[in-house]
Amino acid sequence: MGRADLLRDVMLKTGTTQSDLSRLSGVRQPSISQFLSGRTDLSDTMLDRLLSCMGYRLEVVRRSVRPDLQRSEDRSWRLHRELSRQLNPSTLPEWRPLMERNLARLRGRVTGQPHVRNLDRWQQLLNDGDILGLHRALTGLDRDSIEMREVSPMSGLLGDSDRLRALAEAS
């Protein structure tokens, strides 16, 4: 059930009109109408505020889910996760020359978006020494991180035993 549906359901249960809710909450009635129609996003904070005016609270249930990665995406994530384990303030300067060469090599072969943009992002992370940002790109399971790893400058940084162990986990 979406946020707007949840708000509408509680309004029906409590017999609260948009005008009533506006008076109770201090939120303008046209805004409430836009929340209910889906024309304006309704944040969890605003929804909880509106629900509390009707004697309800918002409960958000969080649970972990395993993403549905393609085989190649899973293998890439596992290899990059191993790199993330080894990445720290002392390894980054050691890795930087190879990463720079890899970026230059990739720029000579890669065309189109989002790949060119992602090469620029890798370069920026490297230029900034943004270790936290690098960790996010190496281990993220969002589409953006997956696409960044498609043009990763990390080739050649893992030793054979680390690479084979990470790939064995993917099997």
**Confidence band (pLDDT; 50, 70, 90) for 74?**
very high
Q: Would you state the pLDDT for residue 33?
A: 97
The Cα 18–Cα 1 span in angstroms is 20
Q: What is the pLDDT of residues 18-45, one digit of tens each?
A: 999 999 999 999 999 999 999 999 999 9
> Domain spans of the chain?
3-52, 71-170
Residues 6+ apart with CB under 8 A from 45: none
Question: Residue 146: phi, psi to the nearest 5?
Answer: -60, -45
Q: What is the pLDDT of residues 50-60, one digit of tens each?
A: 999 999 999 98
Q: Provide the mean pLDDT of the chain.
A: 95
Q: Would you state the pLDDT for residue 1?
A: 77
Per cent of the chain over pLDDT 90 is 91
Q: Would you state the pLDDT for residue 171?
A: 65
